[in-house]
Amino acid sequence: MDSSGAWAIALPNPNWNFGGHIETSPGINLRPGSGRAGAFQQISFDYAPAGVHRSAAIRLYRDRALALFFLNYVDASENANPFPVISSYPQLSHLTFLESSPRLSLTT
């Protein structure tokens, strides 16, 4: 993620690239960690669309083709300006994202 809020995820195998943009504050935090799924790097940030504060993160696992997106509504609000909005992705035969039960399904 860069300071303008553009984010990108590149997977070497399969050769997939995903990207998007989010309005962020200057406070972007990068930290390593590990859990049941293995070692990861996590990018955390805060943003406030229309003055409504939220915190979000992108967690990338080192040894897995796995990315998790986290979103926390700090202030009560409608689900406007959601995260993530994936604006670039590989040519796939199937791509879905279910908001009510967040699940991303990819098929080549």
Confidence of residue 67 (pLDDT cuts 50, 70, 90): confident
CA–CA separation, 25 and 7 (whole Å)? 14
Q: What is the pLDDT of residue 59?
A: 92
pLDDT, average across residues 12-32: 82
Convert the pLDDT of each residue in 49-65 to its tens digit. 888 888 999 999 988 87
> Nearest to residue 45, comparing CAs of 60, 27, 19?
27
**pLDDT above 80 for 96:** no
CA–CA separation, 34 and 81 (whole Å)? 30
